[in-house]
Amino acid sequence: MEVNGCLWDTWLEEALSKLESLKVLRSLRPIQLPREIARQSTCNETSPSSLSQEFQVFDGPREWDRASVEVNISESTFQKWLHDVPSSGDDNDGMYENIRADDKAEASKRKLRKLIIFSGNDYLGLSSHPMAAQAHGMGPRGSALICGYTNYHRLLESSLADLKRKEDCLLCPTGFSANMAFMTAVGNIGLLIAGGKPSKDDRVAIFSDALNHASIIDGIRLAERQGNAVAFVYRHCDMSHLDALLNDAIDYWINNRSNCPMKKRVVVTDSMDGDFAPMTELAKLRKKHEFLFVIDDAHATFVCGKSGGGAAEMFNCETDVDICIGTLSKAAGCHGGFIACSKKWKLLIQSRGRSFIFSTSTPVPVAAAAHAAVVVAKEEAWRRNALWKWVQDFHALTGIHVESHIISLIVGREDKALQASRLDYALSED
């Protein structure tokens, strides 16, 4: 962070220091999965059940079943784990740098330690079944903080951090859980610094766009319910209203006292209606008010910007955005969510973001597919160009003003929207 770095970095460091003193600073330990797992079987091993024609089944354990419980971890990661050294998951970054391809296999054997997982959720060992996936099964099934974090997850995080021009990235099970995790974690800043319930002035003030996604709203509500944050909602994309709230926010809990007393301020924006948040104006307000600038870039990631970096890249304000939250279930065509941020923010979120901590991690094939999507989306710019041409063609054919690939048609109440949706489905069937 630049403008607001001194205050927020100080608060963040205080919160992390508190977590470390309490011995509750959580760490990610990347499990190293081999590139290929050989799985061979013969047709005569299948069960005679009626399902055998569609699924290959077996009458007992096979060699691949060990893959669900037997894993490798680098020696450096093991030693840090053993000595409780905090980690953001980047222990093995650069592990094979300057090593010739022929020597990597031998280097890997020297640096890896074999472990047996006793803490996973794969009760029947089905994650490594040949019918589940062809390369690595589903991978270790458990929270990322226990056994569900692998070199594939780390590779995806690194590629997303690079795409978003951030120091690091935290992979989450869904985009919804990513927003929930961040909102509850940022709300914990005041709680940790105060060493208990924060005073009213020490709470975090979160300024939220009126049309933000439900996951942002629910995350803020949870932080409020916990007594750690107070929400201020500004009219959709109305920078004058946001500026007024930041300048003279109405303190709703005591005698209409004006001037928001809370120094810890966060502005979070997203759009469900297909328009873009006024990024340039938000960047100017950030310099003026020194708030933490958070965007949910779910719809713009991989679609907007020269390299698919999203709205911040398109409006040339990547350095002004402190936290970028996104999903892998839209343009990436996969599943999962992410939070691109600094290493310090990552440590806090993975330690206090309950929707991350208590969720099973993304399956390995999905993480691998998402990483491939990041690479392809960045390199094959023609895909973005074609999409934007279709947007222009739609405007030319219909005369409807559109700003992006998300075309929103407002029909009124929720029941009317559902009725229109059913009508659209009926027409598509015809």
**Whether the Cβ atoms of residue 31 and residue 71 lie closer than 8 Å to each other:** yes
**DSSP per residue, 358-375:** TSBPPPHHHHHHHHHHHH
* Residue 143 bridge partners (DSSP): 360
Rg of the chain, C-alpha, whole Å: 24
**DSSP per residue, 191-224:** HHHHTSSPPGGGSEEEEEETT--HHHHHHHHHHH
Which pTM value belongs to this model? 0.79
CB atoms within 10 A of CB 157: 26
Strand order in the sheet with 229-234: 168-172, 337-341, 323-327, 292-296, 265-269, 204-209, 229-234
The residue whose two tokens read 């959720």 is 121
Residue type, 74: S
Q: What is the pLDDT along the chain (430 residues), one digit of tens a residue?
A: 444 557 899 999 999 999 999 988 888 888 887 754 333 333 344 433 443 344 466 777 777 777 777 888 888 888 887 888 888 887 766 654 554 555 555 555 568 888 888 767 665 565 666 655 555 677 778 888 888 898 999 999 999 999 999 999 999 999 999 999 999 999 999 899 988 888 888 899 999 999 999 999 999 999 999 999 999 999 999 999 999 999 865 444 344 444 556 889 999 998 657 789 999 999 999 999 999 999 999 999 988 999 999 999 999 999 999 999 999 988 888 889 999 999 999 999 999 999 999 999 999 889 988 888 888 888 888 888 888 998 899 889 988 888 888 887 778 888 887 777 666 544 444 4
Residues whose CB falls within 8 Å of the CB of residue 371, separated by 6 or more in sequence, listed in order = 152, 155, 156, 159
Rounded to an integer, what distance in angstroms lies between the CA atom of residue 138 and that of residue 216?
A: 29
- Take residue 360 and report the two structure tokens written for it: 């099973």
113 phi and psi, to 5 degrees?
-120, 135
Using CA atoms, how far residue 33 sits from 112, 287, 365, 404, in Å, is: 10, 44, 12, 40
- Take residue 3 and report the two structure tokens written for it: 């403008």
**Whether the Cβ atoms of residue 137 and residue 128 lie closer than 8 Å to each other:** yes
Using CB atoms within 10 Å of the CB of residue 139, give its burial: 0 to 12 exposed, 13 to 18 middle, 19+ buried.
Answer: buried
Rounded to an integer, what distance in angstroms lies between the CA atom of residue 128 and that of residue 20?
A: 36
Using CB atoms within 10 Å of the CB of residue 349, give its burial: 0 to 12 exposed, 13 to 18 middle, 19+ buried.
Answer: buried
Residue type, 397: L
Residues whose CB falls within 8 Å of the CB of residue 304, separated by 6 or more in sequence, listed in order = 310, 311, 313, 314, 384, 404
- Take residue 9 and report the two structure tokens written for it: 């970095």
Residue type, 382: W
**Whether the Cβ atoms of residue 329 and residue 174 lie closer than 8 Å to each other:** yes
Residue type, 368: A
Q: Mapping DSSP to helix (H, G, I), strand (E, B) and coil, where does residue 263 land?
A: coil
> CA 311 from chain center: how many Å?
16
